[in-house]
Amino acid sequence: MSEILNKARAKIASELADEDVKLGRAEKKLLPHIAKTLEFFCEQSEAFSERFVACKETIATCTKETFDAMDDKEAPSDFEVYNAAVKFYFPECEVMFEMKLIDPSDQETAAVTIDINDFFEF
C-alpha cells in the first residue's frame, strides 16, 4: 500500500471521527457514503489520492457543496453525487459507472454489462 493512500485513509478516518461536523440531517447521512467512495477512488488513482490529501477542505465541506449542487434535483442519482464529489477535489476527473446484471438462469451469457453513462447527457 502506498504512503499517499495511507495518508488518504487516515484523513478519511479522522474526518469521519469528527463529531463537531456542522451538516444538515440529509448531509450527515450522505457523508459516510461519499467518504467510502472517495476512499475507493483513492485506491484507484494515486493522482486523485495526492489531490485529496493536499486539499485543505474537509469531506464535510465536500458533502455540503455536493449536496448544495444537487439542490435543484428532486432525487439525484448516486452517479451524480459521486461525480460532483470527485470534481470537488479533482475537477478534471470523470467518473465512469458500470453496472453488471448477473442472470444465474442464463448459462450462455453469464453477465450483461450496462454502462450507466449511456443514460445521462453531459
Q: What is the pLDDT of residues 1-47, one digit of tens each?
A: 699 999 999 999 999 998 888 888 888 888 999 999 999 999 999 99
CB count, 10 Å around CB of 53?
19
The whole-number pLDDT of residue 70 equals: 78
User: d(Cα 36, Cα 42) in Å, to the nearest integer?
Assistant: 10
The whole-number pLDDT of residue 101 equals: 80
Domain positions in the chain: 3-94
**pLDDT tens track for 80-106:** 889 999 999 999 998 888 877 887 777
The whole-number pLDDT of residue 85 equals: 93
The whole-number pLDDT of residue 109 equals: 55
* Residue whose C-alpha cell reads 443514460 in the numeric block: 119
User: d(Cα 17, Cα 117) in Å, to the nearest integer?
Assistant: 34
